[in-house]
Amino acid sequence: MTLDEKWLHEWEAIMKRIESIDARLWQGAGILLVLSMGGISLLGWNPPISKPDFIFVVISGVFSIAVLVVWWFIFHRWIHFQRIFNHRAREIETKLKLRMNRYSRLFEYWKDKKEASYKKEFRKDNPDAYYGFEKFWESEHKRWPIHLSIERSLELLTILLIVAWGAFVFVYLAGFLRPTLLGLQ
């Protein structure tokens, strides 16, 4: 096996690992979304009647928020590993003159000075591909969803779920305390 074949084999393994992490991230987010919405729906179906009902709902809400905070740290760690794998994949692509990850990085950081050396090398080695890519970047870079990364999407989703659980617990608390404060129970 030649050195190029070894690098290509490593690159393929890295790409499979990146895809695996992506799948786990979205599966985890989907599970937490369904469980959160289902939990809020089921717990909110009945108004608080007794103190044990109230305590159970508050503990469930606090526990759910704690799970979402732990999820925050887990998905950031997985994204950290993805960045490491992407960096290594770009190193291998440079050696093998491949472009997949380098293209996505270049698209994201086209105006960034850090990518200037690669842009120069790209333009020198492959002027037609460079100008085609530049034209593609000009037509696509202004679309806002393109710049919404997996990390930012998961952060937004997690924040929304934490806020939803917090609001639910607050409303449940208000629903339980209001009759008690008014002397209706």
Average of per-residue pLDDT across 161-168: 96
What are the φ and ψ backbone dihedral angles of 119, each rounded to 5 degrees?
Answer: -60, -40
**Is residue 183's pLDDT more than 60?**
no
pTM value?
0.79
Q: Which residues contact 46 (CB under 8 A, 6 or more apart)?
A: 53
User: Per-residue pLDDT averaged across 127-146, rounded?
Assistant: 82
Share of the chain above pLDDT 90, in %: 50
Give the per-residue pLDDT at 81.
96
Tens-place pLDDT, residues 97-108: 888 888 887 887
Where are the chain's structural domains?
A: 3-181
Per-residue confidence (pLDDT) for residue 144, from 0 to 100: 67
Mean pLDDT calculated for residue range 171-178: 79
- Which one has a higher pLDDT value, 80 or 101? 80
For residue 115, what pLDDT band results from cuts at 50, 70 and 90? Answer: confident
Per-residue pLDDT, averaged over 9-30, amounts to 96
**Least confident stretch, 48-57, 126-135, 160-169:** 48-57
Which band of pLDDT confidence, cut at 50, 70 and 90, is reported for residue 166?
very high
Distance of CA 89 to the CA centre of its chain: 20
